[in-house]
Amino acid sequence: MSKFDEKVKEALDSAKTMGIKVNGSLLEKVAKGLGPSIYRADSALVAVSDKTEMERVKKSFCEGKLGSKDDAKNTAAIASAAKAFGSNRKKLRIIFYTLIVESLGKSSVYK
């Protein structure tokens, strides 16, 4: 099993453990789009309490990658993704971003 496959499996297992339903195929495509960031301990996780990082997610991912220009919807999608993790401090970027894609209805970006 490749390192990439291991990371995808880890994310799917983590989502299942937390009771978060995600589309496995979409999650794999999002993971590919995230590139090497999924392999580094710090960048593999999302710090929801860091306002600078949340702005970066909104600008770079929601607006940049997904093309969603509605600030209110982007903010709501990010909040929804954060809420799905509950009190879990280990918010995997792969799952977090997949939830945002699903919330915004932008899965067509990942064909």
Domain boundaries, the chain: 3-109
User: Residues 79-100: what's their mean pLDDT?
Assistant: 96
Residue 11 CA to residue 6 CA, distance in Å, equals 9
Instruction: Give which of 79, 70, 90 is closest to 13, Cα–Cα.
Output: 90
Nearest residue to 8 (alpha-carbon basis) of 29, 85, 42, 62: 29
Least confident of 16-20, 54-58, 86-90: 86-90
**Model pTM?**
0.96
Per-residue pLDDT of 97-107, as tens digits, reads 999 999 999 99
Q: Give CATH superfamily name and number for 3-109.
A: Jann4075-like (1.10.238.120)
DSSP letter (8 states) at residue 28: H
